[in-house]
Amino acid sequence: MSATTRVPRGVVAGNWKMHMGPDETRAFLAALSPRQGPGRPQVLLFPPAVSLAAAVAAAPSWVGLGVQNIHWEDKGAFTGEISAPLARAAGATHALIGHSERRHVFGEKDAEVARKSAAALRHGLIPVVCVGETLAERRAGQANPVILRQLDAALEGLTGSGVGFLIAYEPVWAIGTGETATPQDAADAQGVLRGRLRERIGGDADRVSILYGGSVKPDNAAELMAAPNVDGVLVGGASLEALSFTRIVDAAPDR
C-alpha cells in the first residue's frame, strides 16, 4: 500500500518540556489561533504536569492534552511520579512515553517504555511512543537497528491495542540542536518504522500516525510534513510561543 492510500490522522503536537507555568499556559492558549476545519490536523499539547489543570480549563475543544511521562504502576509509594490513572483524572488524553530525554537524561530503558505504554493503554491514555537514534549510533550505521529495537520493545506493551497509539521518530542529534533531519531522512526512518508496524500489526499499521520531532520550526514544518510517512510533528522549542506554534499547525497539509 502506498503512502498516499493511507489515512492516518494529521497531528501537530507541542512538547513543552520543563517550561510554561499555569499563567503562561493560559496566555498561550488564549493566543493560539490556527486555521480550523475538516482535514486540519489534531493539535496536542504536553504541558508540564503542574500546568495541566490550567490547560484543561483554558484549552478549546480542538486541543488535546497530555502528560510528558507516566509511571507504570497505578499507585503507590513513588515520590515525584504520576500514574496513568492520575493523569487521566487530571484531564490528560495522551502521554509521551520514552522521550529521548527520559531515555538519555534519566536512564529509562526499553523495558520501562513497554511497561509505561501498557499502563497508558490500560487506563485509556493514548501513548505517543518516542524512538530515535543518537549521533554516535547513526554514525556507526546503527540508526535503523536502534529505532527498530525501541519500537519492538514498545510494541510488547502495545500488543493488541489496534491503533490506539502514536509513534514519534525523534533523532536525538536533531533535538534542540537546530540540526533538522532532512525530509528524506525522516521519510526513510519513518518508512522503516511503518514497515515493522505492518509486520507486527498488519493493515492497522497504516492508520498509526508517525510523527517527526527534532528542531521543527515554522519554516521547515511544511516540507517535513509533506514527506512520505510523516503524519505530523512533535515540536519542542518552537511550540513555546503561540504564534510560532500556530504557524506550524497552519503548515500541516489538509488530510
Query: Which residues form the interface with ligand 13P (CB under 6 A)?
Result: 15, 99, 170, 175-176, 213-216, 234-238
Closer to ligand 13P by Cβ: residue 99 or 103: 99
> Could you tell me the smallest distance in angstroms from the CB atom of residue 213 to ligand 13P?
4
> Could you confirm whether 104 is annotated as catalytic?
no
> Could you tell me the smallest distance in angstroms from the CB atom of residue 13 to ligand 13P?
8
Q: Where are the beta strands (DSSP E) in 132-180?
A: 166-169
Residues 6+ apart with CB under 8 A from 235: 12, 13, 14, 15, 213, 216, 221, 245, 248
Catalytic residue among 99, 101, 112, 137: 99
Q: If DSSP states are collapsed to H, E and C, what string results for 183-212?
A: HHHHHHHHHHHHHHHHHHHHHHHHHCCEEE
Measured N-to-C along each axis, helices 183-201 and 143-158 cross at an angle, to the nearest 10 degrees, of 40
> Could you confirm whether 99 is annotated as catalytic?
yes
Closer to ligand 13P by Cβ: residue 215 or 229: 215
Closer to ligand 13P by Cβ: residue 59 or 168: 168
> Could you tell me the smallest distance in angstroms from the CB atom of residue 227 to ligand 13P?
17
Yes or no: say if 132 and 166 are a contact pair by the CB < 8 Å rule. Answer: no
Yes or no: say if 10 and 221 are a contact pair by the CB < 8 Å rule. Answer: no
By DSSP bridging, strand 42-46 and strand 166-169 are unpaired
> Could you tell me the smallest distance in angstroms from the CB atom of residue 160 to ligand 13P?
27
Closer to ligand 13P by Cβ: residue 147 or 238: 238
Would you call 44 helix, strand, or coil by DSSP? strand
Identify the helix (H) or strand (E) that includes residue 12: strand 11-15
Closer to ligand 13P by Cβ: residue 145 or 176: 176
Catalytic residue among 101, 112, 133, 170: 170
> Could you tell me the smallest distance in angstroms from the CB atom of residue 100 to ligand 13P?
7
Yes or no: say if 94 and 65 are a contact pair by the CB < 8 Å rule. Answer: yes
Which residue's Cβ lies closest to ligand 13P? 236
Which residues are the active-site residues? 99, 170
